[in-house]
Amino acid sequence: MITLGTTTLPLAGWIANPQQPAESRAHRLRAMRRITEGYGMRAVELTLDLQAIYSQVFDAGFYESVAELQRELGFVCTVHLPFLWVEPASLNEAIRQASVDCLRQAVEITRAVDVRAYVLHLWGFSTGQVLSQLREPVQRQALLGALLAQANRSLSALCDIVEPEDLCVENLEDSLFDLALPIIEQHRVSICLDVGHLALQGGDALAFLGLHGDRIREIHLHDAKPARDHLALGQGQIDHAALLEKLAEVEYQGPVILEVNTKADLEQSLATLKAAL
């Protein structure tokens, strides 16, 4: 049986108020309680970009409170490491190092929490943008090699503080994931399958499960259609019923995190899943 969950974003949003840190923390904790008690889900994914942006709000004390709530309610916790304005594959060494420092801080500040998986974007938005503009084959190949070397260094640094199997590299909206597979295998890290991102690339989730099932430790689930993802289930083109059937067939028991951004989309996704099950 899958362990279904979501982030706090549909219920508490992306914004906190640094002028009222106690209320912002309480608001986020109430969202976690509602996820588990109100919606009956068994997993919560912590969005660590919130900590990186609002460090004075989501401090170590906040994550100690999360750990207390986790012990009370018994939910599984996963961590989405910061990815906004973070570039672990940057050729600008100062940016790469700052990105690694940001990721390491996110790991350290959540030590009080029992974390099932740490989801990692091994490269950022600007990496994909640069590559999309470079079409000359020789130069593109040289740039890819340099970027993957930087990503390798960043992944190695993170494996020093996180058990490799707990670190999950996510497939993103671009086509770089297959190129990063040798690095993933070298460091023996896990994979976060993002079903919506894969659909944007024209990929097939069932085939992906067949290829990488033994490494997949977490799944991000949202619907997608051309040029749009993070939609409520039922608003796009993904055959979620077939996916659920395949997950049951392979006896996948890890977290499946609904990655939607509004309460309405969360509730529609849950209703769609209930009908499929």
Would you state the pLDDT for residue 129?
A: 87
Q: Please state, as a whole number, how many other Cβ atoms lie within 10 Å of the Cβ of residue 160.
A: 7
Which residue shows structure tokens 């020789």?
Answer: 138
- Gap between the Cα atoms of 229 and 68, Å rounded: 34
- Predicted TM-score (pTM) of the model is 0.97
Would you state the pLDDT for residue 135?
A: 85
Beta-carbon contacts of residue 227 (< 8 Å; ≥ 6 apart): 200
Domain ranges of the chain: 3-276
Walking along the chain (277 residues) 10 residues at a time, the average pLDDT comes out as: 95 97 98 98 98 98 98 98 98 98 98 98 92 89 96 98 98 92 97 96 94 97 94 95 94 96 98 89
Are 271 and 206 in contact, with CB atoms under 8 Å apart?
A: no
- Gap between the Cα atoms of 76 and 45, Å rounded: 8
Beta-carbon contacts of residue 186 (< 8 Å; ≥ 6 apart): 152
3-state secondary structure 2-30: CEEEEECHHHHCCCCCCCCHHHHHHHHHH
Beta-carbon contacts of residue 125 (< 8 Å; ≥ 6 apart): none
Closest CA to 176 of 87, 71, 110: 87
Would you state the pLDDT for residue 276?
A: 83
Closest CA to 108 of 164, 53, 162, 44: 162
- Gap between the Cα atoms of 204 and 217, Å rounded: 18
Would you state the pLDDT for residue 270?
A: 98
Are 254 and 217 in contact, with CB atoms under 8 Å apart?
A: yes
- At the topology level of CATH, where does 3-276 sit? TIM Barrel (3.20.20)
Would you state the pLDDT for residue 277?
A: 76
- Gap between the Cα atoms of 77 and 43, Å rounded: 6
- Gap between the Cα atoms of 211 and 149, Å rounded: 24
Would you state the pLDDT for residue 58?
A: 98
